[in-house]
Amino acid sequence: MEVERMKSQKNHTREVVVVGGGVAGMQAAIRLAEQGVRVTLIEKKHELGGHIRSWYHLFPSFTPAQEVYDALHERFASHDIELITSAEATEINPTSVTLADGRVLHTKAVIIATGFEIFDARRKEEYGYGLYDHVYTSADLELLLHEGEAGEGLAGALGFTPRRIALLHCVGSRDEKVCQPHCSKVCCITGVKQAIELKKRFPDAEIFNFYMDIRMFGPGYEEMYREAQQKYNIHFIRGRISEASPTFDGRLQIKAEDTLTGRPLRMSVDMFVLLIGMQAGPNFGLPHADSGFLEPQDLFLGNVVAPAQAGTLGGLFYAGTVSAPKAIGESLNEGIAAADAAAAYIKQK
């Protein structure tokens, strides 16, 4: 029976290709398989999951990222989904996807769920990432928190116990200087989450978040911000750090304006965390915003549909952070929405 089913699969043309196996792509593939659509998922890396595989505990509930991934993967594995890993899509059309090794997959529709890339903090030289000791990105800190679970804790993973820590918001976001005009949406809440994680591990440390605006857009986020202030005594200073420089005793001196008092502020810290933003990945020649993220047909009823282009009649759909910065919950929702839109599209064809 099993063999029979596999055979019949082979004889049928594939109906939908999902490009990208992060949370959005996995969810889209699951949803399509549930509806009996023959779906192929291709993933560039050797394993599924995308960025959340590198995160530790998730905002706003401190749920381990691994738990979310495991539950999603269990559902994925229970369905009949053709999976091709270590395969990078280089060209995408509504009826075919070309892989880097030259293979061409024919299909009736494509969901693009290729996600985002992490901003390279070295591009903001003035903050000294990769130049000075004790400068980390928020992505580095997630990995260090992982490492700290075993053995010596976070102090062990860092190799020291910080006494004063600064976190800087909007690194590689909202910045014309590095051509990243957009707000990355998740870094404010990540900054609040990481400040709390640090305070839990280093209760004696003073922790400062330097921000331009605090954007707490999601459920429970504002509450977490308040908790950071009230329960964990995290200090929030409204001002963008202009530069960091090493001090003679191996610490870092940072400069900002404390805009709420109207005075320049200087501070030496022994740990500096850059809350890096989301940067757009390749656009496959599709219409995109100035930020580089792919632009859907509209931001309402067509928000997971690619604009119909000259010569094509649709058949391309977007899910997750490929079209704008989003949190995991939102990316998962878009996986469902894009799958439903693609299923409706191939039925009507």
Partner 1 sequence: MRRRHTSNRNSVAAIDWGYGINKARVINADVNDLRMSEAILREMPELQTCIGCGGCTATCTAGALTDFNFRMLHTLVRRGEYEGMYEQLNKCMLCGKCRLVCPRGINTRALVMLLKRKLGDN
Ligand X SMILES: Cc1cc2nc3c(=O)[nH]c(=O)nc-3n(C[C@H](O)[C@H](O)[C@H](O)COP(=O)(O)OP(=O)(O)OC[C@H]3O[C@@H](n4cnc5c(N)ncnc54)[C@H](O)[C@@H]3O)c2cc1C
Question: Residues in the site for ligand X, rule: CB under 6 A?
Answer: 19-25, 42-45, 50-52, 55, 58-59, 88-89, 113-116, 118, 138-139, 186, 190, 278, 281, 320-321, 326-329, 331
Residue 42 touches ligand SF4, criterion: CB under 6 A: no
Q: Per CB under 6 A, which region of 49-57, 152-160, 169-177, 243-251 contacts ligand SF4?
A: 169-177
Q: Which two tokens stand for residue 77?
A: 């594995």
> Which residue's CB is nearer to ligand SF4, number 219 or number 250?
219
Q: Which residues contact 119 (CB under 8 A, 6 or more apart)?
A: 171, 172, 173, 178, 180, 184, 276, 277, 278, 279
297 binds, among ligand X, partner 1, ligand SF4, none (CB under 5 to 8 A by kind): none
Shortest spacing between CB 320 and ligand X, in angstroms: 2
Site map (CB under 6 A) of ligand SF4, residues 195-234, x = contact: ------------------x-x-------------------
* Rounded Cα–Cα distance for residues 63 and 9 (Å): 38
Q: Which two tokens stand for residue 258?
A: 């404390």
Q: Which two tokens stand for residue 277?
A: 């933003």
* Rounded Cα–Cα distance for residues 91 and 104 (Å): 9
Alpha-carbon separation of residue 52 from 3, 5, 59, 107, 142 (angstroms): 35, 33, 12, 28, 10
> Which residue's CB is nearer to partner 1, number 72 or number 241?
241
H, E, C per residue of 289-339 = CCCCCECCCCCCCCCCECCCCCCCCCCEEECHHHCCCCCHHHHHHHHHHHH
52 binds, among ligand SF4, ligand X, partner 1, none (CB under 5 to 8 A by kind): ligand X
Residue 14 touches ligand SF4, criterion: CB under 6 A: no
177 binds, among ligand X, partner 1, ligand SF4, none (CB under 5 to 8 A by kind): partner 1
Residue 169 touches ligand SF4, criterion: CB under 6 A: yes
> Which residue's CB is nearer to ligand SF4, number 18 or number 234?
234
- Edge-first strand listing for the sheet containing 104-106: 89-93, 96-99, 104-106
Q: What DSSP line would sit under 228-273, residue for residue?
A: HHHTT--EEEES---EEEE-TTS-EEEEEEETTTTEEEEEEESEEE
10 binds, among partner 1, ligand SF4, ligand X, none (CB under 5 to 8 A by kind): none
> Which residue's CB is nearer to ligand SF4, number 216 or number 346?
216
- Positions touching ligand SF4 (CB under 6 A) are 169-170, 173-174, 183-185, 187-188, 213, 215, 275, 277
